[in-house]
Chains A and B, each alone.
Chain A
Amino acid sequence: MNKIVSLLCGIIFGIGLVISQMINPAKVLGFLNLFGEWDPSLAFVMIGALIISSPSFHLFKNKEKPIFSSSFSIPNKKEIDKELIFGSILFGAGWGLVGLCPGPAITSIALFNVSSAIFVVSMFIGFYIASKTN
Chain B
Amino acid sequence: MNIVNFTPISSLTGGLLIGLSVALFFILNGRMIGISRIASNFLVSKKNRVENLLFLVGLILGPLIYNLISSQEINISISNSLILLVIGGFLVGFGTRLSSGCTSGHGISGISRFSLRSIISTITFMLVGILTVLIIGIS
Given the interface pairs A103-B35, A113-B78, the reply to whether A21 lies near B14 with Cβ below 8 Å is: yes
Nearest chain A CB to B14 CB, angstrom units:
2
Known: A122-B89, A123-B92. A40 touches B3 (CB 8 A): yes
The closest CB in chain B to the CB of A51 belongs to B19
Chain B residues with CB below 8 A from A122, complex form: 85-90, 93
| Interface size band for B | 35 or more
Interface residues of A in 90-126 (CB under 8 A from B): 90-103, 105-111, 113, 115-116, 118-126
CB pair B117 A32 closer than 8 Å: no
Binary flags per residue of B4-46, CB closer than 8 Å to A gives 1, else 0: 1111101111111111111111111111110110011001100
Interface size class on chain A is 35 or more
Q: Is A62 an interface residue (CB 8 A)?
A: no
Could you say which of B23, B78, B93 contacts A56, with CB atoms under 8 Å apart?
B23
CA A83 to CA B40, docked complex, whole Å: 16
Distance in angstroms from B78 CB to nearest chain A CB is 4
Looking at the complex, which one of A25, A50, A84 makes contact with B76 (CB distance below 8 Å)? Answer: A25
Asked, given contacts A90-B98, A106-B60, whether A40 binds B6 with beta carbons under 8 Å apart, the answer is: yes
- Mark contacts of B118-135 with chain A using CB atoms, 8 A cut-off: 1 yes-contact digit, 0 otherwise: 001110111111111110
